[in-house]
Structure 1
Amino acid sequence: MAHMLITVTTGVGSLATAVAATGLGLSIAAGGMPQPPLVGLMAAGVVALVLGFVWHFEEQSRTWSRQVAGRRRARQLGARSVRDTPPRPSAGGTRRR
């Protein structure tokens, strides 16, 4: 669900920004003043685009944190199981000096 929300937000933001930038470019090229609704649409598009990127990086950070925690738990369980096993006898017998 979070990935779909991130994708939709980023897509809507980039589409709105592209449409507003095109409209502003055309209105300025025609010699007129920038249209206030297009400026508002561009601002809203940029905000939606930034929110999409922020959510994406936050989701990646959470995923990374879960992976690191899982690896840490696995290492702790591995270390605990090694400590609980009796030592193996050495293959070479006694060591000479």
Structure 2
Amino acid sequence: MAHVLITVTTGVGSLATAVAAAGLGLSIAAGGMPQQPLVGLMAAGVVVLVLGFVWYFEERSRTWSRQVAGRRRARQRGVQPVRGASPRPSAGGPRLR
């Protein structure tokens, strides 16, 4: 469900920003001042787009954290510690107690 909301959020933000940018470009090309509603739409589109990206990376971070925690629990259940030995082979030898 989160992936759908992230996709919709970034899509809406991108579309709003693109429409506002095109409208602003046309209004400036016509020799007029930028229209305030288009500036507001562009600002809102950028904000929604940034929120979508932040939401995406937050979701990826949570998924990664859950995977790492699951691997850690599986490793702790599957490995019986040897007294005096380090649980990590790269730790450099036996532990001092």
Q: TM-score, normalised by structure 2?
A: 0.81
Letter in 2 for 1:52: G
Distance 2:51 2:3 in 1: 13
Alignment partner, residue 6 of structure 2:
6
Structure 1 residues not aligned, in runs of 5+: 84-97
State the secondary structure of the residue aligned to 1:33. Answer: coil
Distance 1:9 1:48 in 2: 6
Letter in 2 for 1:4: V
Letter in 2 for 1:63: T
Using CA pairs under 8 Å that are at least 6 residues apart, name the structure with larger relative contact order, 1 or 2: 1
Alignment partner, residue 73 of structure 2:
73
Distance 1:5 1:78 in 2: 38
Distance 1:3 1:49 in 2: 14
Alignment partner, residue 44 of structure 1:
44
Structure 2 residues not aligned, in runs of 5+: 83-97
Letter in 2 for 1:45: G
Q: Max radius of gyration: which structure?
A: 1
**Residues matched between the structures, number:** 82
Distance 1:75 1:48 in 2: 40
Distance 1:4 1:75 in 2: 33
